[in-house]
Structure 1
Amino acid sequence: MTIYSLYIYDRHCECVYYQDWHRTKRPKQAIEGNIFPGVSRAVAPYTSDMNMVAQSPRNTLLSNTGVIIAVNEEPPPSSSLHNAPAPPPQSSTGLPFDEEAKLVYGVILSLRNMIRKLSGKDEQFVNYRTSAYKLHVYETASGYKFVMLGDPNGDSLRFLLRQIYIGPFLEYVVRNPLATMDSRERGIDNEYFRASIDRLVRGLSVFP
């Protein structure tokens, strides 16, 4: 089963985390100011803060604020947290990431509302499929939404999204005193959170 990408949205509908695996085309970098810092270095605009942190790849904190940021897109070769080879260069979809993230959330919100109106409040929207991908959703009681895009012919990935929530998310975000859960200012990424998700996904028997 091919797994393409993971998005995490907070209760304010903002994308606070992004990671991908088998995408053949990545979105363009987001327009500065349109996404939170710390969502993903792969799609975030380059800033002076990122330049400062890049000097220390294992550092998960911004030295002058103590806020968690994303720094592990290019881990050092000796790091025990990253065993996977570096992905090959990818072409761009032509769509900025901030627009892509809004489109993904808009689809989820529209389909969820449609299902509730047609089938009642007890019905849950869990996935939908196109010819190119299958989108899976897991929503927590606190309003966080875990969204994963995968193989259109694959089985449900809600079990994996729930494992990410009860495992790395609770361990490195909810129980992390340095991560502000409702700041509406930054993403929730840090090196150990990203590496833990990567191990969990790559450890699946269905992961190619």
Structure 2
Amino acid sequence: MTIFSLYIYDRHCACVYYQDWHRTKRPKPAVEGGILNAVSRAVAPQAADTSAANSSAFSSPRNTLSSNTGFVVAIGDDSSSSSTPAQAAVDGPRSNALPFDEEAKLVYGVILTLRNMVKKLSGRDEQFTSYRTSAYKLHLYETISGYKFVMLSDPSTDGLRFVLRQIYNGPFVDYVVRNPLVTMDSREQGIDNDYFRASVDRLIRGLSVFA
């Protein structure tokens, strides 16, 4: 079991943070103007990323994400799952051909579609929390303020919403919400804060499911 990547989206549907650990291939850099500033140095547009060689010390090897296509097993709660076009954005050779901004939009589109489908089929009180394919499992935690924390992991991993909640209640609140230098609800700036990135990295690497 292992953890592949983490995305954070704000209430404007923009990806404001990205970090990964075990992926076979690094996403292609976003096109100029495709993502907000300071989302991740690893996927920043090449024209603006003059320090690519000196990217964050907390970047880690990407060596386990499989390239097999997945099949749906279930959907609905932490132990449930569903199939979507996100496979093309986060897994396999096709994902490597996508710029990061397209990948981020695809992942968000999948979440939005499945969340709306769950509410229509099961009622407004039902929450979409995860889905699983044969190649990966997606976990979702949404805050009252509209931030969406999305994690991709090995398909055999149990529900990780508690980990996303820990990231929100811990590093996110400490280094983003309470940080006067971070502009919240910004349409122009991400949240690639070194302390936040280091704290998230430490938390994820300390999990028993991290390999």
TM-score (norm 2): 0.80
Structure 1: which 5+ runs fail to align? 55-70, 76-81
User: 8 Å contact 1:72–1:191 — kept in the other structure?
Assistant: no
Structure 2: which 5+ runs fail to align? 65-92
Higher strand share: 1
Partner of 1:45: 45
User: 8 Å contact 1:27–1:95 — kept in the other structure?
Assistant: yes
RMSD: 2.3
Q: Deviations over 1:113-169 (max 9, x none)?
A: 000001111000000011110000000000000000001111001010000000000
Identity level (%): 73
One-letter amino acid of the structure 2 residue matched with residue 121 of structure 1: R
Partner of 2:67: none
For 2:107 and 2:139, locate their aligned partners in 1 and report how far apart those are by CA, in whole Å.
11
One-letter amino acid of the structure 1 residue matched with residue 4 of structure 2: Y
Comparing 174-183 with 92-101, which one deviates more in the overlay? 92-101
1:74 shift after superposition: 3.5
Q: Which of these residues, 116, 129, 132, is aligned with residue 132 of structure 2?
A: 129
One-letter amino acid of the structure 1 residue matched with residue 169 of structure 2: I
For 1:153 and 1:206, locate their aligned partners in 2 and report how far apart those are by CA, in whole Å.
10
1:73 shift after superposition: 3.1
Q: Which of these residues, 147, 152, 161, is aligned with residue 158 of structure 1?
A: 161
For 1:22 and 1:202, locate their aligned partners in 2 and report how far apart those are by CA, in whole Å.
11
For 1:73 and 1:122, locate their aligned partners in 2 and report how far apart those are by CA, in whole Å.
42
For 2:202 and 2:61, locate their aligned partners in 1 and report how far apart those are by CA, in whole Å.
15
SS at match of 2:157: coil
Q: Which of these residues, 189, 192, 196, is aligned with residue 189 of structure 1?
A: 192
User: 8 Å contact 1:2–1:207 — kept in the other structure?
Assistant: yes
Residue correspondences, number: 182
Partner of 1:5: 5
1:144 and 2:147 correspond = yes
Partner of 1:205: 208
1:26 shift after superposition: 1.8
Residues 206 and 88 (structure 1 numbering): CA distance in 2 closer, same or farther, change over 3 Å?
Answer: closer
Residues 200 and 43 (structure 1 numbering): CA distance in 2 closer, same or farther, change over 3 Å?
Answer: same
1:182 shift after superposition: 1.1
Q: Which of these residues, 48, 73, 77, is aligned with residue 55 of structure 2?
A: 73
Residues 2 and 89 (structure 1 numbering): CA distance in 2 closer, same or farther, change over 3 Å?
Answer: closer
Partner of 2:80: none
1:87 and 2:69 correspond = no
For 1:88 and 1:158, locate their aligned partners in 2 and report how far apart those are by CA, in whole Å.
22
Partner of 1:59: none
For 2:54 and 2:192, locate their aligned partners in 1 and report how far apart those are by CA, in whole Å.
9
